[in-house]
Amino acid sequence: MIGEPRRPFAGLWRGMGHKIGGLLGGFQRDCPVCRAAANAASNPFGLCASCFAKVPWITEIICEICGRYEACPDCRRRSEPAFRQNRSAVRYNAVMKEWLALFKYRGDERLLNLFADMLLLAYRKHGELADLPKHGFDLLTYVPLSEQRLLERGFNQAEQLALRLGQKTKVPVMPLLTRLRHTPKQSFQKRAERLGNLEGAFDIDGEHVGKLAPMLRERNHLHIAIVDDVYTTGTTLQHCSSILARHVPATFYGITWAR
């Protein structure tokens, strides 16, 4: 489960940098985070030098399951993960927490574009898997919000990230899950509380799961990635994958912005 450090980041970064940087050239624009002037060609995300230097990219993977940059006790405790693996773009530190708050509560379109570009790095890290077919993922889905949280925020950040990622990768996006009840934020819970917090919180979206029939007739077994903003202990991804696995013959993966 726990492997040697790997360096999957360099090649992904070079490819993305050439593609985006070539399109943007040397134009000046505002940094999507701090609004300072930023040279669009200096990095593929349009960040100013100061903000770019603060990003804690995950450049080495120690835990092959969750994609963590260090040994992971949560994955060691989980005897039968319902998902194949998760990959994230950045470490969730204090700075990234601030950035995520700006995105969630400001709803800035430029932050959505930034996070989706960053999420693309996490998506591409899955390409190293030997058992992932050449065509990649068959489908993207996302972790749903409760009605209460959706009313508070006005949008589901995981849904928006999945839709943008789908546009960038040409992978279809479908809402396969529904939220049955409101739950406290996972980030505020202790590990034991997290494990019980989500019991009975999710179910399948029967209408959309039913629409997978043509795809299943063609491929028999699907590869589905579940998008969320932050992977903490993997409890959310475990619950979502486990519920979907009862109804859909598929291998499930996580794609998260931060870990």
The rounded mean pLDDT for the chain is: 85
Q: What's the pLDDT at 186? A: 55
Query: Given a cut of 70, is residue 226 above it in pLDDT?
Result: yes
Half-sphere exposure of 158 (CA within 13 A, CB side): 26
Query: Given a cut of 90, is residue 89 above it in pLDDT?
Result: yes
CATH of domain 72-258: 3.40.50
Quote the pTM value. 0.85
Band (72; pLDDT cuts 50, 70, 90): confident
Averaged pLDDT for residues 219-235: 95
Q: What's the pLDDT at 234? A: 92
Place of tokens 């931060």: 258
Query: Taking the domains of the chain in order of start, what are their residue ranges?
Result: 72-258
Query: Given a cut of 60, is residue 100 above it in pLDDT?
Result: yes
Place of tokens 């040409």: 170
**Is the separation of the CB atoms in 7 and 60 below 8 Å?**
yes
Choose between 31 and 197: higher pLDDT. 31
Averaged pLDDT for residues 110-133: 89
Averaged pLDDT for residues 18-47: 72
Query: Given a cut of 70, is residue 16 above it in pLDDT?
Result: no
Band (78; pLDDT cuts 50, 70, 90): confident
Place of tokens 């505020």: 188
Band (27; pLDDT cuts 50, 70, 90): low
Choose between 75 and 108: higher pLDDT. 75
Band (258; pLDDT cuts 50, 70, 90): very high
Q: What's the pLDDT at 80? A: 84
Question: Would you give the distance in Å from CA 97 to the centre of its chain?
Answer: 15
Averaged pLDDT for residues 176-198: 71
Q: What's the pLDDT at 6? A: 44
